[in-house]
Amino acid sequence: MTNTYVTDITHYLNESGELAEMPAAARKLASFLGLLIDAASQVMPIADHDTRIRCRKRGCQGSIRASLPTHDSEITWHCPVCGLNGMIHKWQGSKWDRSGQAEEGNADRSQEKPKPAPKYTPREGQYLAFIYYYTKLNRQPPAEIDMQRYFQVTPPAVHDMMLKLEKRGFISREPGKPRSIRLLLMREELPDLV
C-alpha cells in the first residue's frame, strides 16, 4: 500500500464549517475528500462501494471505491487501478455529511421540521430492504435479475418497480447501467426483509 492519506477532515475546515484558507493543492485535496464523504455517507452503511469519483492521481482513470460500515467509522477509500488509498476521520457532521444523522446542534430545527417518514407500500418496502441486504452481503447492488429471482416476478415487473422507487426518491440509478442502484434511505427507515 502506498500513498495512504489519513485525513482528519476537520483540519481543512474553519470555525463555520467551510473550507479554510489553504494553498490550492490542499484545497483540491479537500474538495476531493468532500466528494468522497458526500458519496459514502449517502449510501451508508456500505462496504467497498464504487463512488464513481475519478481518482485524483494524475493520468489515472480509476474510479474511487469507498466503504463506510457504520456512522461511527472512518471512511476508507482506494483506487482499484493505481492503489491510491486513504482514510477520512471526523467526517461526521461536516458539510458533506449526507447521512442525515448530523443532528448535533440542530435539535431545535429538527423539532420544527420533523423528517417525514418515507411513505412506501409494504411491497416497495420489501424491494428496498432487499436492495439494502443484497448490497451489504454482496458488496455490490443487485441487478434486476436478482430481484426477479428473489421476488419471483417478471422482468417488466421489476423494471417498473425500480422506476417507481427512483421517481419517489428512494433509490437512484444510472439508466442502462447494470448494478447502479443506490439506496437513498437509511437502515432505520427500512422494514425487515420478510
Interface with Zn ion (CB under 5 A): 55, 57, 60, 62, 79, 81-82, 84
Least CB distance to Zn ion at residue 95 (A): 26
Instruction: Indicate the residue among 85 and 94 with the shorter CB distance to Zn ion.
Output: 85
Is residue 168 a contact partner of residue 127, using CB atoms and an 8 Å limit?
A: no
Least CB distance to Zn ion at residue 60 (A): 3
* Per-residue exposure over 128-163, b if at least 16 CB sit within 10 Å of its own CB, e if not: bbbbbebbeeeebbbebebbbeeeeeeeeebeebbe
Q: Which residue has the cell 421489476?
A: 158
- C-alpha 149/C-alpha 137 separation (Å) is 16
Instruction: Indicate the residue among 58 and 109 with the shorter CB distance to Zn ion.
Output: 58
- C-alpha 121/C-alpha 49 separation (Å) is 28
Least CB distance to Zn ion at residue 25 (A): 17
Residues in CB range of 101: below 8 A, 6 or more apart: 71, 92, 186
Q: How far does Cα 83 stand from its chain's mean position?
A: 21
Instruction: Indicate the residue among 25 and 107 with the shorter CB distance to Zn ion.
Output: 25
Least CB distance to Zn ion at residue 63 (A): 9
Instruction: Indicate the residue among 81 and 163 with the shorter CB distance to Zn ion.
Output: 81
